[in-house]
Amino acid sequence: QTVVTQEPSLTVSPGGTVTLTCASSTGAVTSACYPNWFQQKPGQAPRALIYNTSNKHSWTPARFSGSLLGGKAALTLSGVQPEDEAEYYCLLYCGGDRVFGGGTKLTVL
Amino acid sequence: EVQMVESGGGLVQPGGSLRLSCAASGFTFSRYAMSWVRQAPGKGLEWVSVISGSGGSTYYADSVKGRFTISRDNSKSMLYLQTNSLRAEDTAVYYCAKDSPAGGKYVELDYWGQGTLITVSS
């Protein structure tokens, strides 16, 4: 069973830039894993941000971007806003099951 | 407007069963695979199961394989999850989500419902 690993927590200052990563226990994450990213705030359902590595949904703010970085999937937030404080989850679909990462709690401080 | 509304959750004893439903609207239901995703209290997201647009293909997480069954009724735009032999560790909010277009290679999970809570306890 694939294990997907994310940073448990990160802190960023308002207006700053932060990169969250998503690693697979089976090896390098490639575009063939079609990485997805989701944002979840307390008491709310998850909201999709990025699909297929770097594609944004129509509602995804421009400051969010997805990429591959050093064998991992990455989500970069540029010009962080206070409302970006949330839990972020990646999902990998590397030809088998869909597997979520454990989530990254992003604090904006 | 795309919308998913789950129902059917509740309190059930270990070993019991529940059938979850998800009413979808705002898109051509039969053209999309649909997934169930769950979240235990205070924990992360766990993908549970997916069904193809036609209903002909289904896949399950190892943790629920043999106990849960996903199905759909395209004539009613309804998604279901039959959960049997429930365990305490199945306690979670269960979300249905629009997964990917038929024939698509990638997962989108672009629209989610608000979830329904299953609590497994004696």
Question: Closest chain B residue to A3 measured between Cα atoms?
Answer: B46
Query: What are B86-110's pLDDT values in tens digits?
Result: 999 999 999 999 999 988 889 999 9
- pLDDT at position B20 over 80: yes
Structure confidence at residue A74 (pLDDT): 98
Which residues, including other chains, have CB under 8 Å from residue B51's CB and lie 6 or more apart? Answer: B33, B34, B35, B57, B58, B70, B71, B72, B79
Minimal Cα–Cα distance from A22 to chain B, Å? Answer: 14
Mean pLDDT calculated for residue range B38-57: 97
Query: What are A20-30's pLDDT values in tens digits?
Result: 999 999 999 99
Question: Closest chain A residue to B48 measured between Cα atoms?
Answer: A98
Structure confidence at residue A6 (pLDDT): 98
Above pLDDT 70, what percent of chain A?
100
Minimal Cα–Cα distance from B18 to chain A, Å? Answer: 21
- pLDDT at position A72 over 80: yes
Gap between the Cα atoms of B47 and B63, Å rounded: 10
Query: What are B66-93's pLDDT values in tens digits?
Result: 999 999 999 999 999 999 999 999 999 9
- pLDDT at position A95 over 80: no
Name the pLDDT band for B113 (thresholds 50, 70, 90): very high
Which single residue is written with the structure tokens 């990917």? B100
Taking CB atoms and an 8 Å limit, are A100 and B108 in contact across chains? no
Taking CB atoms and an 8 Å limit, are B113 and A45 in contact across chains? yes
When CB atoms are compared, the residue of B50, B106, B112 closest to A46 is B112
B100 close to B89: Cβ distance less than 8 angstroms: no
Fill in the amino acid letter for B9: G
